[in-house]
Structure formats: C-alpha cells, structure tokens
A and B are shown apart, each in its own frame.
Chain A
C-alpha cells in the first residue's frame, strides 16, 4: 500500500487520526525509507524551532511597545507583565512541586499523587489512575475538565485535585506533569465546578493544544486506546 507524502508528513506531525496513523505505521514497518522520511520531517521541525525560538525570548524592542503604549494609559502593568523573565514563570511550578513533595512525604495513608523518574515528574496513585480512567463528565475529588492533543499528537489532560491542579501529557513512561500549581479542588469539595479551573491553566492548555479539545466521544476512544497517540 502506498502512503503519499502528505500523509507521511501529517503522521510525523501527529496530525493523523488513530486509524490512519496505524496504516502509516504498518507501511513504515515494511519500508525503512518511510521511517527515515518521518525522522527527516521531525528533524526539520526541531531545526526550525531551534532557529526561531530565541526570537520569542528577546525583549520586545521599544518602538513596537511604543505603538501600544501610545494607545493605552495603563502601561506600567503591561510592561511589568512583559518584563517577567522566563524562569519566573516556573515559580508556580516549583511551589506546586513542593506541595506535591509534601504529599509524597505524608504518604502514610495517602498513596501520593506524583512520582519522579529521570528528573521528570509523573502522576502516580490516585491521580495517575484518574488520568487513565476518568472522563471529563466524571465527578469526585480529582477531575479532568479538558482533554486535548498537543502539537506532537500526544494526549494531554487538564486536571484538578485536592493536592495540585495541572496539565499531564501521556508519554511512554506515564503521565508527565507539564504544569502544576497548588490544588483548587479542596478535599472537602466533593463536586468542584468545571468553571472553577484556573484561567491561567486553561490558557496554558490552549497554548499546547493542536486543534480543538476532545469531545466526549473522542475522549472515550482515547481512553480505550490507552491514551497512546
């Protein structure tokens, strides 16, 4: 069976649905040239990413800020926002990691929500279980208001729990925690409202998302496929 170049590219970008992706994978298994082409597509994406990413980290030149400044009086706030260095954004994550660390430390009757492996935080225990099995419609102390696919085609889920809120993405080693912040759904709040998710977390999810969030049917399909891309 022949795989056209567009389909192979879409596979490399994680843009194919599970059935088409399977088709491509079967073809790749039979033809090493196709596997090489996929690797070349991914290498090119990485090279372009590395070339242009630093531009987004540069401070915005004044003349550009001036265009906006001349248009708005509430500038100090806006400038302050821009001035926040990249590392400062990790502050929240570090704080949440500390909270998570406490959860591990007190793991006498609590199995813990998180584990580390190779320097990366992963969901564990109740949280990992909920990420695997619970749909957005579910209720309880751990909730999954939104599931989506990222640009690489992997599955990610926004979660809220008594210990931490965040975004977890499914990889080979489990649910890697991409974003974490102190939990909004306190243990006493059995039925947290989906509307109560931190807007910053939803914005981060929006940033990572390729296409639209999964609807209920797509979410159920992803679950039965073990959240594998």
Chain B
C-alpha cells in the first residue's frame, strides 16, 4: 500500500504550488497542504487506482481551502495583506520580488471562485475540462469565471504582466 503514499509524495510539489496560488501566504499554503494530505489519507479508499490522482488531490485541496478560507473574515485578510508585502520573497532580486508581490496581491484580490479557476488553469496548467470537473461546474461557468478573473488580473497588473 506504500505506493499510495509514494504517489502522493510525488504530487506534493505541485500541490504546494496550487496551495500557494489559493492561500494568503506561504505559511497558510503549507497548513492547507497538511490538512489536504490528512484528508486524503483518511479518504484513500475513495481514490480509484487507475484514475488521475492529481485531479482527486486538487479537488480535496480545493474543498479544504473552501472550508478554511470561508470561515475567515475578509477584514482580517486585508489587514495581514499590508504586512505580507514586507515579508514577501526571500528569493530573487528586488524587482522580481516586487512583481511577485504584485501578482500575489492581485490574485488575493480575486473572488474565491475566480481565483480557483485561475489557479487550476493558469498556474497548474490544466485543460478547461479538467478544471471544470475538479470544481464540479459546467464548462460555461468555468470559462466565464476564468475570463473575469483574468481580466481583473490584467487590469490590476497592467504592463507588469
């Protein structure tokens, strides 16, 4: 049965990236990963070998994120966002950190339903169909959320993107 954990471990780098695109900061993202992993281990019998484990895991992580993120107050998030700017980016040069911060702030300003669509398609590189299945929404709903999210990001990032 170790193969299951092995496969999960191999997925972890991608799951961390997805979590980072969803969550407020790096610490929250790793908390989210931990919650999602624990859930996955408890729910392992619901995964069918031979199906896509990444899709299954993305779905678990996204649902965990909904559970935790929605219980937080928006006001608290806005407050923390201010200081996050100082802590952002321990890697790269100043300009790269600035772009990084801009992108993080722009992502964070998106409504959750747009952010998750953007994270799956633009960060994780999934096809629309796969993203719609993970989010359990029709294709039309996915594309309309995605296009609104992207337009908001492009407007906010302007030429920086």
Contact = CB atoms under 8 A, between A and B. Distances in A.
A73 B2 contact: yes
A63 B34 contact: yes
Contacts, number: 121
A56 B147 contact: no
Interface string B141-161: 001101100110110010011
Main secondary structure of the interface of A (DSSP, over half): helix
B41 A71 contact: yes
A68 B150 contact: no
B137 to A, nearest CB: 14
Determine which residue in B9, B20, B34, B130 has the highest number of CB atoms from chain A within 10 A of its CB, and name it.
B9
Task: Tell me whether chain B's interface is mostly helix, strand or loop, or mixed.
Answer: helix
Nearest to B103: A51
B127 A151 contact: yes
B37 A64 contact: yes
B123 interface: yes
Contacts of A65: 9, 12
A71 to B, nearest CB: 6
Interface of B: 1-2, 5-6, 8-10, 12-14, 16-17, 20-21, 30, 33-34, 37-38, 41, 52, 91, 99-100, 103-104, 118, 121-123, 125-130, 143-144, 146-147, 150-151, 153-154, 157, 160-161
Contacts of A51: 99-100, 103-104
Contacts of B13: 55-58, 60
A72 B7 CA distance: 12
A64 B6 CA distance: 13
A57 B91 CA distance: 13
A89 to B, nearest CB: 12
Interface string A33-60: 0000000110111011101111111101
